[in-house]
Amino acid sequence: MTLSRETPPICDYEGSNYCTDFWEGRGREYEDLVERIALRRLLPPTGQRLLEIGAGFGRLTPMYNGFEQVVLLDYSKSQLRQAQARLGRGDRYTYVAADFYHPPLADSLFDAATMIRTIHHAQDVPLVLRQVRRVLAPAGTFILEFANKRHLKAILRYWLRRQTWNPFDPEPVEFVELNFDFHPRWMAERLREADFTIERRLTVSHFRVPLLKRCLPARLLAAADGLVQWTGRWWQLSPSVFIRARQDKLGPPPSPTAFFRCPRCTGTDWHSTESLLTCRTCGARWAVDDGIYDFKAPLD
């Protein structure tokens, strides 16, 4: 069987200096700290295998030390190369270059999955969520962060007629090409359609205001944010929302041997060498580039 590869457009960070251009030395210590607070509150303390979707350069990967194996999935090989330099190689980390619409991973493989600062690049959110559900084991945990269109600043700007789009409209808004903000109710509906049960919501980055960030220490602002993240249980008015959801659909039991799933045919039987994976079902060949499994395009 050959799968349709009608893939929506993909935001590609290949060759970018995302780490130094956006994070390090760019005044975003506060955002980094509050996201770590939220993750610690939502993440299971231990587990066998975790999938980090949109892992980038591995900024948050050390937070998953309670898991025996972490798979870093990102479309950009150059970002994964930076993560590899930070984290090292070995059995604990597996680096996979692929898009989030066709993750080359077997069904029911993971105890948990995270997706932080990533789904805002998804044009087809339902497809992404179905794939996350597919690779999660029954009762697996999914931690999702999304950019909230109904945050307080957007509401004020709309009321003052300084922006055209309506933050109360449930449909996503694409404010820059392949950059979307989502209404909390809309995202909750998509999660339920994908057979997820929402267990907890946290609102994050309440104080993402340039003046506050200039005047107050990042750790003080982050501590204050941590005190009000629990308000996500009732309302979501912050720029960022974290959700912990549980996979409720009973899929096939995980295979004791299957790990990769061929994006071309869904086969899980492989012939592998140090530099090549060959699907025994359809013959597709995929490169292994210096420790990074490259599923962006087959070699033939």
pLDDT digits (tens, 9 = 90+) for 18-38: 999 999 999 999 999 999 999
- Percent of the chain whose pLDDT exceeds 70: 96
CA distance 245 to 225: 22
Q: Among the CATH numbers 3.30.470.20, 1.10.340.30, 3.40.50.150, 3.50.50.60, which is that of 18-265?
A: 3.40.50.150
pLDDT digits (tens, 9 = 90+) for 152-207: 999 999 999 999 999 999 999 999 999 999 999 999 999 999 999 999 999 999 99
- Tell me what the pLDDT averaged over the chain comes to: 95
* pLDDT above 90 (res 6): no
* pLDDT above 60 (res 1): no
* pLDDT above 50 (res 3): no
**Which residue, chain included where needed, has tokens 């997820």?**
196
Reduce the secondary structure of the chain to three states and give it as a string. Answer: CCCCCCCCCCCCCCCCCHHHHHHCCCCCHHHHHHHHHHHHHHCCCCEEEEEEECCCCCCCHHHHCCEEEEEEEECCHHHHHHHHHHHCCCCCEEEEECCCCCCCECCCCEEEEEECCCHHHCCCHHHHHHHHHHHEEEEEEEEEEEEECCCHHHHHHHHCCCCCCCCCCCCCEEEECCEEEECHHHHHHHHHHCCEEEEEEEEECCCCCHHHHHHCCHHHHHHHHHHHHHHHHCCCCCCEEEEEEEECCCCCCCCCCCCECCCCCCCCCEEECCCEEEECCCCCEEEEECCEEECCCCCC
pLDDT tier for residue 252 given thresholds of 50, 70 and 90: low
CA distance 51 to 34: 21
pLDDT digits (tens, 9 = 90+) for 59-84: 999 999 999 999 999 999 999 999 99
* pLDDT above 60 (res 5): no
Domain positions in the chain? 18-265
pLDDT digits (tens, 9 = 90+) for 90-118: 889 999 999 999 999 999 999 999 999 99
